[in-house]
Amino acid sequence: MDPLPLQFYGDALPDVDTRELQGKLIVIEGPDAVGRSTQVARLRAWLEESGHAVLDTGMARSALAGKGIQQAKEGNTFGPVTMTLFYATDFADRLENEIIPALRAGFVVLTDRYIFSIIARAIARGEDRRWIENVAGFALVPHVVYYLRADVPDLVSRVVFGRGQFDYWESGMDLGVSTDMYDSFVKYQAKLIRALDSMSSRYGFVTIDASRTPDAIFNDLQRSIAQFFSDIKVTKMGQSSRPAKVATPPRKYPEGSGNPPQSPARSRPRTRPAP
């Protein structure tokens, strides 16, 4: 496969030469509780077994804004435009200081959500689609975007059987559509799914039916991702490639995996527990 340089959706970020970005950028999108982080963890283990260095990243994990977003979510005054822009700040920090340096170093970057969740949440809150799409235009166009799609009843049963309770923000309680968390969750997630659906063809999402078992979803993802690599095997169902156990070591770029990513002006630790 002849690699074309990655592109930006809108105006390029200052000081980024996309021809230097040798890695692969793979996005896993989907509504809350659809099982994205499970799949990211399994894909990571599988890719690393195959000898590929992986960076995984996700929303509100930036060194700059992660803490601030967590604190804002704990308060009761997180306005919709403020929320959209705080998440955009978080994304920009991770893009410029984690994702791009890792791509430069030839890593596979697996990201749990991308700009599409930020856009969907903004749309669900009545913000202008063109406004937020333009704001998010500094994002790189990924090699592939997998949209794990399931309907609201599937999400509900995953919340009930999984974590066992509804989350305030995942239920979109800030929209004030209902004081009941279940009702609000159902309405809000339906809005998010509609918004993601509406972006699907425009952004070229590869839709995966996520109403099935995690194994079946994983198998689809593996088969699809394998096409980006010449040296990789799809594991058979039920065979290895479990998520890495408990403590993930601090994320360091291993020596000998190409040049360490250069992130001038700072050297922040990038420790992040496995999701």
Q: Closest by alpha carbon to 53, among 253, 229, 242, 268?
A: 253
Per-residue binder mask for other proteins (CB under 8 A), 42-71, x = binder? ---------------------xxx-xx--x
Q: Shortest distance, CB of residue 184 to other proteins, whole angstroms?
A: 11
Asked if 130 is part of the footprint of other proteins (rule: CB under 8 A), the reply reads: yes
Secondary structure (DSSP) of 52-113:
--EEEEETT--TTTHHHHHHHHHSS---HHHHHHHHHHHHHHHIIIIIHHHHHTTPEEEEES
Asked if 174 is part of the footprint of other proteins (rule: CB under 8 A), the reply reads: yes
| # chain residues binding other proteins, by CB under 8 A | 45
Element (DSSP H or E) covering residue 206: strand 206-209
- Could you give the CA distance from residue 104 to residue 18 in angstroms, rounded to a whole number? 9
Tokens linked to 22: 């040798």
Candidates 20-28, 83-91, 198-206, 229-237 — which segment interacts with other proteins by CB under 8 A? 83-91
Burial 47-71 (b: 16+ CB within 10 A, else e): beebebbbbbbbbbbbbebbeebee
User: Of these, 89, 200, 211, 224, which contacts other proteins (CB under 8 A)?
Assistant: 89
User: Of these, 9, 13, 156, 187, which contacts other proteins (CB under 8 A)?
Assistant: 13
Asked if 85 is part of the footprint of other proteins (rule: CB under 8 A), the reply reads: yes
- Could you give the CA distance from residue 67 to residue 251 in angstroms, rounded to a whole number? 18
Asked if 194 is part of the footprint of other proteins (rule: CB under 8 A), the reply reads: no
Asked if 92 is part of the footprint of other proteins (rule: CB under 8 A), the reply reads: yes
Binding site for other proteins (CB under 8 A): 10-11, 13-15, 63-65, 67-68, 71-72, 75, 77-82, 84-86, 88-89, 92-93, 96-97, 125-128, 130-131, 134-135, 137-138, 173-176, 265-266, 268
